[in-house]
Structure 1
């Protein structure tokens, strides 16, 4: 469908875009860790307010990232992500929720959808999968936070279905971008995770390969598979193919950095 490419903004921020989304004129981007104000171990473009980083530095980072994408950080709508499968419908009334204060974010939510113009949706990641969704026909957008728990619970699929229920989106019309996250090269999981995967995916053998007593899990493919199940066209799905754990010079990785690290942000707006 397209590519995932890195761009540089004159304010110093590096971020990635999906060319298929850009070609349709939708505002979006996925940050890197480059071009911010935070010190180690959060250096330097940490966008997570819940990491233990200096809150003022994070706010400056959010301002820089959002400026690069073309909207005010004060308007971003964020969520208190809890690795579950709740999808929240966002309207103009939600503008700014969690933008500057974590306690004001939408509670217990891992996916956001909207058909309102100029309402930026933003979630945060450090190995979990950012899934961006754009329906150019019904004019709606969504974003999902898909760690292994969210992936097994099929949160990306549920996000598209929520767009269908609320906005009349057809899965076949939707463009999907699967962003940088821990890849099958680095993501080893145990039998407890595999048991959940087997329960949720009939074709689970295509999603994991044995690695000694553990397994290497392909979250990218698991999210692609669940989206195809409901009619999202394979040709409309872009997988960045960038592993955060294998590229800690550019992205934050919770696993590779032993849990003491920052968060990248993913944002989308009509």
Structure 2
């Protein structure tokens, strides 16, 4: 039974000065998928009914007044490779996308990992990165800013960036082996199990954005947690893998 509610979207305030920009993260509200994918699942690789996911994507695009075909997705592999996009379609094996082509909207799907959206208003260029612990350890966000600078002449000091909703440090317990890949300020010992640590991926990616040259005042981070805020977000870890995916989008509309 189709849900009567419209997709509930998070629109980062950091981008409000760019009216031509579409930048958002979906929540789990406003779709047609049934539990455990209820209801706005946008992960085609999940075990959800494919037709439900397609209907959810259509609902999202209708609410944004954009074409489904204008969204570019990638088969994310927890790596650090970046793809430059100049036309619509799907790519594989990349965890970050960049574009300066109008009416192309870059998409990243997540359910605990962090989506990071970057916009260069001078060149109307955008980037979207998928940052789990592997990508973050490999500095995918830093590399995305560098790729935009190389491809479009982006000046980091002119960019705006948003670290979206993912799993917060209080919920993200990792092994000692993973912890060794991160600097001490990003970690604290877990009180739940000896030898485990809690990792702050949001801060890690904000730190990378600053390292790339984006001023701290031009970076914001979501204050939600995909694991804690279960009414709004899917969480792979909380739901033991049986869950949907949120979609984060960024791109510039062409002038009317």
Same fold (TM over 0.5): yes
2:136 aligned to which of 138, 141, 151: 151
CA drift at 1:11: 5.4
Q: Which runs of 5+ in 2 are unaligned?
A: none
Pair 1:194 & 2:179 matched? yes
- Which residue does the alignment assign to 1:260? 242
What does 1:22-171 correspond to in 2, within 5 Å?
A: 22-25=16-19, 26-92=21-87, 95=88, 97=89, 105-171=90-156
Q: Distance in 1 between matches of 2:62 and 2:175?
A: 41
8 Å Cα contact 1:29/1:69 also seen in 2: no
What does 1:203-218 correspond to in 2, within 5 Å?
A: 204-211=183-190, 212-218=194-200
8 Å Cα contact 2:14/2:219 also seen in 1: no
8 Å Cα contact 2:6/2:63 also seen in 1: no
CA drift at 1:70: 2.8
Q: Distance in 2 between matches of 1:142 and 1:241?
A: 21
8 Å Cα contact 2:82/2:94 also seen in 1: yes
8 Å Cα contact 2:84/2:98 also seen in 1: yes
| Aligned pairs, number | 245
2:15 aligned to which of 5, 21, 24: 21
1:60-104 residue CA offsets vs partner (Å, 9 max, x unmatched): 001112222331222211000000001100002xx1x2xxxxxxx
Q: Which runs of 5+ in 1 are unaligned?
A: 1-9, 98-104, 198-203
CA drift at 1:22: 2.5
Secondary structure of the residue aligned to 1:162 is helix
Which TM-score applies when normalising by structure 2?
A: 0.93
